Amino acid sequence: MKLVIKEILSLFVLTIALAVSLFLFWAYSLLLDFFPWGNDKAYVIWEPLVRYFIVPGYLTIGCLVILLSKQRNYAILGFHLLFIGLSFTLPSVFGFDSDTDLKGRWCGVVVSVIAAVLTINDILNLIRRLGKMQSTV
């Protein structure tokens, strides 16, 4: 029973992580003319959100999951969260504030897509493990 609660809690955290990744994809894509809804001249006001809340959130939860995990599956999940958190710092390194910072804006789109795909993969693995647990009970 305790393991099922842990799986459901992990699923909840990953769902939030997926929502954040999809939000960041939308936000970075708003900064590019390549997308129909985007605009290269758009001004960025949400960079502090990424720097001070999203990245530290990913890093904190990733570290906690690694430190508290006794199984390899959860440690891998923690490393994925750490990787995603560190990769979300890349757009800031390249810069995405001004309309000439296309490299950082594209980096944000690519990192967000990779984060979403990795998170969806983790969610599907958790659902598969939950299904196996339910079938053995």
**Domain containing residue 39:** 2-136
Secondary structure of residue 82 in the 3-state scheme: helix
Q: CB neighbours of 46 closer than 8 A, spacing ≥ 6? A: 27
pLDDT at 2: 67
Summarize pLDDT for 2-32 with one digit per residue, the tens: 667 888 888 999 999 999 999 999 999 998 9
Mapped onto helix, strand or coil, the DSSP state of residue 96 is: coil
Q: What is the pLDDT of residues 36-62, one digit of tens each?
A: 888 888 878 888 899 999 999 999 999
Number of domains the chain contains: 1
67-101 tens-digit pLDDT: 988 888 788 999 999 999 999 999 988 887 777 78
Structural contact between residues 73 and 89, judged by C-beta atoms closer than 8 angstroms: no
Q: Are 67 and 81 in contact (CB under 8 A)?
A: no
